[in-house]
Amino acid sequence: MNDAPRDGTELMRQFVPNSPFAVLLGLELVELGEGSARLRLPYRPELATMGETVHGGAIATALDTAAMAAAWAGAELPERLAGATASLSVEYVSAANGQDLDVVATLLRRGRSLCSVEAEARGPDGTLVAKALVTYKLG
Protein backbone atom coordinates (compact mmCIF):
# COMPACT_ATOMS: atom_id res chain seq x y z
CA MET A 1 0.00 0.00 0.00
CA ASN A 2 1.37 3.39 -1.03
CA ASP A 3 0.86 6.11 1.62
CA ALA A 4 2.21 8.92 -0.58
CA PRO A 5 -0.44 11.62 -1.02
CA ARG A 6 -1.90 12.01 -4.51
CA ASP A 7 -3.06 15.59 -4.05
CA GLY A 8 -3.07 18.47 -1.59
CA THR A 9 -6.16 17.25 0.22
CA GLU A 10 -4.56 13.89 1.03
CA LEU A 11 -1.35 15.69 2.00
CA MET A 12 -3.22 17.81 4.57
CA ARG A 13 -5.10 14.79 5.95
CA GLN A 14 -1.68 13.31 6.72
CA PHE A 15 0.19 16.48 7.64
CA VAL A 16 -2.04 18.41 10.07
CA PRO A 17 -2.61 15.58 12.60
CA ASN A 18 1.13 14.82 12.60
CA SER A 19 2.66 18.30 12.53
CA PRO A 20 4.63 18.62 15.81
CA PHE A 21 3.53 22.19 16.57
CA ALA A 22 -0.11 21.49 15.70
CA VAL A 23 0.03 18.44 17.98
CA LEU A 24 1.59 20.54 20.76
CA LEU A 25 -1.30 23.03 20.52
CA GLY A 26 -3.85 20.22 20.30
CA LEU A 27 -5.20 21.32 16.90
CA GLU A 28 -7.69 18.87 15.41
CA LEU A 29 -8.54 18.60 11.73
CA VAL A 30 -12.35 18.46 11.65
CA GLU A 31 -13.19 18.87 7.98
CA LEU A 32 -11.34 19.34 4.71
CA GLY A 33 -12.90 20.17 1.34
CA GLU A 34 -11.96 21.76 -1.95
CA GLY A 35 -10.28 25.00 -0.83
CA SER A 36 -11.65 24.84 2.69
CA ALA A 37 -10.62 23.58 6.10
CA ARG A 38 -12.15 23.44 9.57
CA LEU A 39 -9.97 22.93 12.63
CA ARG A 40 -10.71 22.86 16.33
CA LEU A 41 -8.47 24.40 18.97
CA PRO A 42 -9.47 22.76 22.26
CA TYR A 43 -8.96 24.97 25.30
CA ARG A 44 -6.28 23.93 27.77
CA PRO A 45 -4.90 26.05 30.63
CA GLU A 46 -1.45 25.88 28.95
CA LEU A 47 -2.83 27.98 26.06
CA ALA A 48 -3.86 30.87 28.32
CA THR A 49 -2.05 34.16 28.43
CA MET A 50 -3.66 35.20 31.74
CA GLY A 51 -6.47 33.58 33.65
CA GLU A 52 -8.44 31.63 31.07
CA THR A 53 -7.89 34.01 28.13
CA VAL A 54 -6.52 32.08 25.13
CA HIS A 55 -3.17 33.50 23.99
CA GLY A 56 -3.29 35.43 20.72
CA GLY A 57 -0.33 33.42 19.45
CA ALA A 58 -2.28 30.18 19.82
CA ILE A 59 -5.21 31.75 17.95
CA ALA A 60 -2.93 33.07 15.19
CA THR A 61 -1.34 29.65 14.83
CA ALA A 62 -4.75 28.01 14.49
CA LEU A 63 -5.78 30.56 11.84
CA ASP A 64 -2.51 30.10 9.95
CA THR A 65 -2.72 26.30 10.07
CA ALA A 66 -6.32 26.30 8.84
CA ALA A 67 -5.36 28.67 6.01
CA MET A 68 -2.46 26.42 5.02
CA ALA A 69 -4.78 23.39 4.92
CA ALA A 70 -7.35 25.28 2.82
CA ALA A 71 -4.63 26.44 0.40
CA TRP A 72 -3.47 22.86 -0.16
CA ALA A 73 -6.95 21.27 -0.20
CA GLY A 74 -7.83 20.52 -3.80
CA ALA A 75 -4.44 21.57 -5.14
CA GLU A 76 -2.26 19.44 -7.36
CA LEU A 77 1.02 18.50 -5.75
CA PRO A 78 3.93 20.54 -7.13
CA GLU A 79 7.19 18.87 -8.20
CA ARG A 80 8.90 20.33 -5.15
CA LEU A 81 6.77 19.63 -2.08
CA ALA A 82 7.13 22.82 -0.03
CA GLY A 83 4.98 25.61 1.28
CA ALA A 84 5.17 28.70 3.44
CA THR A 85 3.04 31.50 4.79
CA ALA A 86 4.02 34.65 2.87
CA SER A 87 1.86 36.98 4.96
CA LEU A 88 -0.57 36.76 7.85
CA SER A 89 -2.77 39.61 9.01
CA VAL A 90 -4.88 38.95 12.11
CA GLU A 91 -7.63 41.09 13.60
CA TYR A 92 -8.62 40.13 17.14
CA VAL A 93 -12.29 40.93 17.73
CA SER A 94 -13.09 39.45 21.14
CA ALA A 95 -11.43 37.38 23.84
CA ALA A 96 -11.69 33.61 23.95
CA ASN A 97 -12.05 32.80 27.64
CA GLY A 98 -11.64 29.15 28.58
CA GLN A 99 -13.37 27.90 25.46
CA ASP A 100 -12.66 25.74 22.45
CA LEU A 101 -12.39 27.54 19.12
CA ASP A 102 -13.81 26.54 15.76
CA VAL A 103 -11.45 27.74 13.02
CA VAL A 104 -12.65 27.85 9.42
CA ALA A 105 -10.55 28.84 6.42
CA THR A 106 -11.75 29.44 2.87
CA LEU A 107 -9.65 29.81 -0.25
CA LEU A 108 -10.37 33.14 -1.95
CA ARG A 109 -8.00 32.81 -4.91
CA ARG A 110 -5.51 30.23 -6.14
CA GLY A 111 -2.71 31.53 -8.36
CA ARG A 112 0.19 29.58 -9.86
CA SER A 113 1.95 29.40 -6.50
CA LEU A 114 0.28 32.00 -4.25
CA CYS A 115 -3.06 31.48 -2.59
CA SER A 116 -5.23 34.05 -0.79
CA VAL A 117 -7.15 32.60 2.13
CA GLU A 118 -9.58 34.03 4.68
CA ALA A 119 -9.87 32.42 8.10
CA GLU A 120 -12.07 32.96 11.16
CA ALA A 121 -11.91 31.69 14.72
CA ARG A 122 -15.21 31.50 16.60
CA GLY A 123 -16.26 30.44 20.05
CA PRO A 124 -18.80 27.67 20.71
CA ASP A 125 -21.69 30.18 20.61
CA GLY A 126 -20.54 31.51 17.22
CA THR A 127 -18.95 34.68 18.60
CA LEU A 128 -16.20 35.91 16.29
CA VAL A 129 -12.86 35.89 18.13
CA ALA A 130 -10.43 36.66 15.29
CA LYS A 131 -10.22 36.99 11.50
CA ALA A 132 -7.19 36.57 9.30
CA LEU A 133 -6.17 37.16 5.72
CA VAL A 134 -3.35 34.84 4.70
CA THR A 135 -1.18 34.61 1.61
CA TYR A 136 0.23 31.12 1.32
CA LYS A 137 2.87 29.90 -1.15
CA LEU A 138 2.67 26.36 -2.54
CA GLY A 139 5.84 24.76 -3.88
Model pLDDT for residues 80-136, shown as the tens digit of each residue: 889 999 999 999 999 999 999 999 999 999 998 999 999 999 999 999 999 999 999
Domain that holds residue 25: 8-138
Work out the mean pLDDT of the chain and round it to a whole number. Answer: 95
Does residue 1 surpass a pLDDT of 60? no
Domain assignment of residue 1, yes or no: no
Note the pTM of the prediction, 2 decimals.
0.95
The answer to whether residues 114 and 78 touch, using CB atoms and an 8 Å cutoff, is: no
Domain assignment of residue 3, yes or no: no
Q: What is the mean pLDDT of residues 51-63?
A: 97
Domain assignment of residue 37, yes or no: yes
CATH number at residue 130: 3.10.129.10
pLDDT of residue 2: 58
